[in-house]
Amino acid sequence: MGLLLSRINIRVFFFALLLSLSPTEPSSDFTGLVFKGCAQQKLPDPTDASAQNLQSLLSTLTSQASQKTFYSTTVGDGTTAVSGLFQCRGDLTAAQCGDCIGKTPDLARKLCGGAVAAARVQLKGCYLKYQISGFVEAPDTDVVYKVCGSEKDAGFGAKRETAFGMVESGVVDGGGFYTGSYGNVYVLGQCEGDAVIGGDCEGCVKNALERVEAECGEAISGQVYMNKCYVSFSYYPNGVAGVSPPSASLSGEGGTGGGRHTQKTVAVVVGGAAAVGFGVVCLLFAKSLFKKRDASKYDS
């Protein structure tokens, strides 16, 4: 019985060891709130044409979200017109996009305390924004939101710089969206649809990367949202799982890209863990046999 329990404990230990060293997958929660932006100016009486146009706009946007990842439109004319758009992250399915955008109108009303002249609700996987006629948006080069992780690593800069270079070229080659990894660094970048059409995507992302590097310093994670684009990065000590190999190649990496480099690193780590675990299993198993043999001497 003691030998059987020892074997069970060994298996549990070995399984836990592999779990602790397996690669980490970036969060799949795409409906969590990142930030909200609300104009101080309230809309007039709900029976006003602007308020009615806003309701019509929000209905139109949510109805399109299960069919498109980006959509922009205007409802109404002249001073009562209301313009808006939504965008989903490039790796979401149509159903996920519809689910994500479907939550934003109620959140806008709740978070902004009713109907306002302009609002933006940014979730992890999508965002929706609108403004009434005559409302002046923030300049495209302004940072509307940023957050930097509390953990820091002085030697992290070189990996992050390489990963940032992948984002800058990747968003252009990928039609405005890019996600990938280099080593243990997961990166994501996206441009608003009209920025891609207008050719402003690359400049926006480059500006965002410079801002996040300057403002987050040696932090191992961070996000910066500009008016027309955003970038984020995270460091995963155990490797990054669930990320497709990026299309952009890297000089000095044989054109394999950061994603394959990560997979190779993870394989080495897990393989090393298996070797260590196997050695521990052999030692504990041998120890249990010696104990059993010694005990049998006294039983005879």
Q: Which residues contact 216 (CB under 8 A, 6 or more apart)?
A: 146, 148, 149, 222, 224
Indicate the pTM of the whole model: 0.71
Neighbours of 10 (CB within 10 A): 18
pLDDT in tens, 116-139: 999 999 999 999 999 999 998 888
pLDDT in tens, 145-194: 999 999 988 777 788 889 999 999 999 888 999 999 888 899 999 999 98
Neighbours of 70 (CB within 10 A): 22
Neighbours of 141 (CB within 10 A): 13
C-alpha closest to that of 108 among 94, 131, 128? 128
Angle (nearest 5°) at CA 212 between 207 and 213: 100
Phi, psi for residue 88 in degrees, rounded to 5 = -105, 155
**297 token code pair:** 């001497």
What's the one-letter identity of residue 298? Answer: Y
In terms of pLDDT, which residue wins out, 15 or 9? 9
Q: Which residues contact 127 (CB under 8 A, 6 or more apart)?
A: 86, 87, 104, 120, 121
Per-residue confidence (pLDDT) for residue 226, from 0 to 100: 94
pLDDT in tens, 236-253: 877 776 554 333 322 222
